[in-house]
């Protein structure tokens, strides 16, 4: 009951603290759980450009796959979601059946086994590649007994920050008339992302991997929120332009605490610095806006054609 009370108090915090060192083990475990669920969506969903058929989406209680068609001739679909308020993983089907698993400390291998067993019980047959994506020293998902942490308070805080970020991204996207991605959560890089495209194909080296080839087939400006990893162990808002135009790293963005990270090849606005702002939401909005404007100018995007003239 005490934990339940703390969770409810956490909900009202608009910009909660998220020290990476305190929730890293939960972050790593949740990252890998979402990879299992995302790979199921990937296996059963028709492909879309730039891998838009694979991410998760935010909803009013956590994250969801959105409806996934059944892998056979049956009409209907199923959906998987992480409830980060009451801390359950749910599988719901269009025929009214479903399964619920509690989100508690458990290994990635255990989560994989229970998830696949639940799908099988619901008549959903699916096989996934169990090799994790975009993680250091990967362990097959069905064998990983190392990552087994889950702190509901920090999981909820992470989601709350994503919800606040999505609000800002909706406002930031509003005047853009060109091709825009959904606001979606990539389970590989474990970040909330929004991407703008100008319509111009991007050059690709002949030996580029298939994921990069599809994801960056056209010039793109992206931004979002990321919890951090070993390369930058702190939560941050980010923005980048790809291919990176000459002089991009010398841009001056707003607010002044934003900086270019030479290893990540993107601009970073540390979350801890945002918490010190009198208006955190406005600071994040200006960061996204100034990163887009600077990148679009250097990359010679046709901004008059791509933006609504207000």
pLDDT computed for residue 310 by the predictor? 64
Say how far apart CA 10 and CA 126 lie, in whole Å.
Answer: 37
Q: Tell me how far the alpha carbon of residue 96 is from its chain's centroid.
A: 29
Among candidate residues 197, 151, 116, the one with its CA nearest the CA of residue 19 = 151
Same domain, 65 and 173: no
The angle formed by the CA atoms of residues 59, 65 and 225, to the nearest 5 degrees, is: 60
Domain boundary among 127, 150, 173: 150
pLDDT computed for residue 9 by the predictor? 44
pLDDT of 59 > 60? The answer is yes
The model's confidence at residue 205, banded by pLDDT at 50, 70 and 90, is confident
Same domain, 259 and 146: no
- Based on the structure, what is the number of domains in the chain? 2
Enumerate residues 6+ apart whose C-beta is below 8 A from 293: none
Q: What is the pLDDT of residues 248-291, one digit of tens each?
A: 999 999 999 999 999 999 999 999 999 999 999 999 999 999 99
Helix (H, G, I), strand (E, B) or coil at 270: strand
pLDDT of 36 > 90? The answer is yes
Asked if residues 9 and 152 have their Cβ atoms less than 8 Å apart, the reply is: no
The DSSP-derived string for 292-306 is HHHHHHHTT--HHHH
Q: Looking at residues 130-150, what average pLDDT do you find?
A: 97
Determine the structural domain holding residue 217 and report its residue range: 164-306
Same domain, 55 and 133: yes
Same domain, 95 and 120: yes
Same domain, 64 and 133: yes
Same domain, 243 and 295: yes
Enumerate residues 6+ apart whose C-beta is below 8 A from 50: 181, 195, 214, 215, 217, 218
Torsion, Cα 296 298 303 304, to 10 degrees, reads 170
Same domain, 173 and 239: yes
pLDDT computed for residue 215 by the predictor? 94
**Domain-embedded: residue 240:** yes
The model's confidence at residue 3, banded by pLDDT at 50, 70 and 90, is very low
Say how far apart CA 306 and CA 41 lie, in whole Å.
Answer: 32
Say how far apart CA 172 and CA 175 lie, in whole Å.
Answer: 7
Domain boundary among 150, 172, 207: 150
**Domain-embedded: residue 15:** no
**Domain-embedded: residue 158:** no
Residue indicated by tokens 């050059």: 203
**Domain-embedded: residue 12:** no
Same domain, 140 and 174: no
Same domain, 259 and 190: yes
pLDDT of 304 > 70? The answer is yes
Same domain, 136 and 52: yes
Same domain, 179 and 287: yes
Structure tokens that stand for 13 in this block: 């915090």
The angle formed by the CA atoms of residues 68, 166 and 178, to the nearest 5 degrees, is: 80
Same domain, 173 and 141: no
Residue, of 300 and 211, whose pLDDT is higher: 300
pTM of the model: 0.93
pLDDT of 135 > 90? The answer is yes
Domain boundary among 90, 117, 150: 150
pLDDT of 243 > 60? The answer is yes
């Amino acid at each position: 009951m005490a934990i339940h009370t703390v969770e409810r108090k956490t909900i009202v915090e608009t910009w909660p603290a998220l020290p990476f060192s305190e929730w890293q083990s939960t972050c790593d475990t949740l990252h890998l759980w979402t990879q299992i669920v995302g790979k199921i969506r990937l296996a059963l969903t028709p492909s879309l450009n730039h891998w838009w058929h694979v991410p998760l989406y935010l909803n009013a209680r956590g994250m969801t796959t959105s409806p996934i068609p059944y892998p056979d001739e049956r009409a209907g679909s199923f959906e998987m979601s992480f409830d980060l308020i009451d801390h359950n993983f749910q599988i719901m089907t269009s025929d009214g059946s479903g399964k619920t698993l509690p989100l508690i400390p458990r290994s990635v291998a255990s989560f994989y086994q229970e998830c696949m067993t639940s799908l099988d019980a619901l008549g959903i047959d699916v096989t996934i590649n169990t090799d994790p994506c975009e993680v250091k020293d990967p362990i097959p998902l069905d064998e990983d007994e190392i990552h087994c942490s889950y702190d509901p308070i920090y999981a909820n805080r992470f989601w709350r920050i994503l919800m606040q970020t999505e609000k800002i991204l909706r406002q930031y996207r509003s005047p853009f008339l060109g091709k825009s991605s959904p606001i979606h959560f990539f389970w590989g890089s474990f970040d909330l992302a929004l991407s703008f495209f100008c319509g111009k194909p991007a050059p690709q080296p002949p030996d580029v991997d298939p994921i990069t080839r599809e994801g960056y087939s056209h010039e793109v400006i992206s931004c979002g929120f990321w919890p951090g990893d070993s390369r930058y162990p702190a939560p941050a808002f980010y923005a980048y332009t790809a291919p990176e135009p000459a002089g991009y790293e010398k841009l001056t963005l707003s607010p002044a605490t934003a900086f270019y990270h030479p290893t990540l090849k993107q601009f970073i606005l540390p979350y801890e610095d945002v918490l010190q702002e009198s208006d955190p939401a406005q600071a994040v909005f200006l960061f996204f806006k100034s990163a887009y404007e600077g990148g679009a100018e250097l990359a010679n995007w046709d901004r008059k054609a791509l933006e609504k003239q207000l």
